[in-house]
Structure 1
Amino acid sequence: MPSQSPLLDFFDKAYIINLPERFDRREAMKQELKRLGSVESPEKVIFFPAIKPADRGKFPSVGSRGCFLSHLEVLREAKKQKLNNLLIMEDDLSFTRFLIEQQNAIVNELQQLDWDFAYLGHGINFTQRGESIFQSYSEALTLAHFLAVNQTTIAQLVDFLETVLMRPPGHPAGGPMHVDGAYSTLRRQNPEINTVLANPSLGFQRSSPSNIAGYKWFETVPVFAQPVGVARKVKNWCRQNFTA
């Protein structure tokens, strides 16, 4: 069933990684999807129950391990289903006004480009915008909250991430690390992988309490938590509407 969003309909499937207990983020993502023009389509846009391990194992933190394993499991499913392409979103994603208004142009470019990785959201601040929305990019990138992978790279990613899991931390070829670092490591080791980056970024991480970084002390005190929540909503609204 089509989602009625040109961007989401371009991909075979879209996965949103969401911890089951984070109902707040799930509901916020449903609102984001409505902004994109999407209707509920559980076979097309899937809320994937994020993995929450009991300990950090060989990773920097419990959260980084859970995020890594969640991305890996989504990619395993995509490989098993032989998807032609895949969109991965994390549950703190918010779409920019530019994306909402330019979905058709964005899809047209993706259809014409030869790409393996497409970072739709990232933290790079470009000073200029070219005629095209996407540009080639070969440097390391932090954040993995809004990205797409094509079929040939899906299988390669699964193999690489599984190998990373078996290595010790600090291994020269890449040991357990944050998943965004693993993506960048794979791309660095395989320069033939074509990576494109959206300019401007089409999505940002919505301001909300983090299960990876942990809650701040003032987020657990009711008298402070309410005004902090209001401030976050204002900040997110401004970023949605005034980000290029």
Structure 2
Amino acid sequence: MGSSPETLLSVFDRIYVINLAHRADRRREMEAELNGIGLSLDHPEVTLFPASFPTDEGNFSSRGARGCFESHLGVHRAILEDGVQRALMLEDDASFVPDFASILAAIGGDLERIDWDMLYSVAPLDPQPGDQAVGQHLLALSPEHRFAQAHFVGFSHRLSERAVPYLEAMRARPPGDPQGGPMHVDGAYCWMRAAYPEMTVLGGRQPLAVQRSSRSDIAELRFWDRWPVLRQAAGGLRRSPVLRQMRDRVRRR
């Protein structure tokens, strides 16, 4: 396989980075992450996608959860409008793992060869009942395999064709609807996978990206994120090389 950007762009036609307009801090951090693998937000195959920032939570559990759900829905619409066959969706708090290049090189050939619908690469995976091994580095995941994160997910055009009407219907239902009402988007993907068990969903045994520690727009802000001086200090601590090394060691265990 070639270099990281060549391999990544041989698998994905377009990379969509979801970012809130007012989160310049995450935009800068995401630019640094992309630079680290030989890409940038200015690359012609990278699209900075404006995240939804609703005025209220509507029927969702929070305004942030609604915004995240609507942002993913917007990316699926863009995939269809842009005619993209395979897309990578990155939330702007995604952080590429130190072994990104070697992991991508190991799975790139399979990702090009297999006609997959969705790719998760967000957490270390062990096989669960119903999963099937795909080579040494990938698993074909059963519809019952659950995920609680969606910061690095690949989609086929076919998947987005199903996702747009599915997510729109879910958003329109009342909370707690037995067919699936408004919820966090990672849960929505689990519901959709169960509804379409014939979809080919792949997961990497080792993740290509983890969530970078960053002030959340979904959860209620902690007190140190509500005050500008403390928020700046907290951001510096989150980016501390020492803390990042500690997190990387924990993730490898």
Q: Structure 2 length as normaliser, TM-score?
A: 0.86
Per-residue Cα deviation, 1:37-59 (whole angstroms, up to 9, x for no partner):
11454431011110100010011
**1:39-188 correspondence to structure 2 within 5 Å:** 39-122=40-123, 124=124, 126=126, 132-138=136-142, 139-188=145-194
Please report how far the alpha carbon of residue 13 of structure 1 lies from its aligned counterpart in structure 2 after TM superposition. Answer: 0.8
Distance in 2 of aligned mates of 1:152 and 1:179: 18
Distance in 2 of aligned mates of 1:15 and 1:79: 13
Per-residue Cα deviation, 1:154-175 (whole angstroms, up to 9, x for no partner):
1011110111122111111111
Unpaired runs of at least 5, structure 2 = 128-132
In the alignment, is the contact (CA less than 8 A) between 1:4 and 1:39 conserved in 2?
Answer: no
Question: Match for 1:188: what amino acid?
Answer: A
Percent identical among aligned pairs is 37
The corresponding residue for 1:236 is 244
Please report how far the alpha carbon of residue 152 of structure 1 lies from its aligned counterpart in structure 2 after TM superposition. Answer: 1.3
Distance verdict in 2 for CA 1:241–1:140, change over 3 Å: closer
CA RMSD of the aligned region, Å?
Answer: 2.4
In the alignment, is the contact (CA less than 8 A) between 2:138 and 2:203 conserved in 1?
Answer: yes
Question: Match for 1:135: what amino acid?
Answer: L
Question: Match for 1:65: what amino acid?
Answer: R
The corresponding residue for 2:15 is 14
Unpaired runs of at least 5, structure 1 = none
Question: Match for 2:122: what amino acid?
Answer: G
Please report how far the alpha carbon of residue 211 of structure 1 lies from its aligned counterpart in structure 2 after TM superposition. Answer: 1.0
Alignment match of 1:190 (pick from 196, 199, 221): 196
Please report how far the alpha carbon of residue 121 of structure 1 lies from its aligned counterpart in structure 2 after TM superposition. Answer: 1.5
Distance in 1 of aligned mates of 2:122 and 2:203: 8
Distance verdict in 2 for CA 1:239–1:34, change over 3 Å: farther
Question: Match for 1:177: what amino acid?
Answer: M
Question: Match for 2:75: what amino acid?
Answer: V
Per-residue Cα deviation, 1:26-78 (whole angstroms, up to 9, x for no partner):
00000000111114544310111101000100111100000011110110011
The corresponding residue for 2:224 is 218
Question: Match for 2:140: what amino acid?
Answer: S
Per-residue Cα deviation, 1:156-212 (whole angstroms, up to 9, x for no partner):
111101111221111111111111111110101211111111111111110011111
Q: Structure 1 length as normaliser, TM-score?
A: 0.89
Distance in 2 of aligned mates of 1:34 and 1:5: 14
Q: Greater shift after overlay, 33-42 or 180-189?
A: 33-42
Question: Match for 1:132: what amino acid?
Answer: Q
In the alignment, is the contact (CA less than 8 A) between 1:5 and 1:36 conserved in 2?
Answer: no
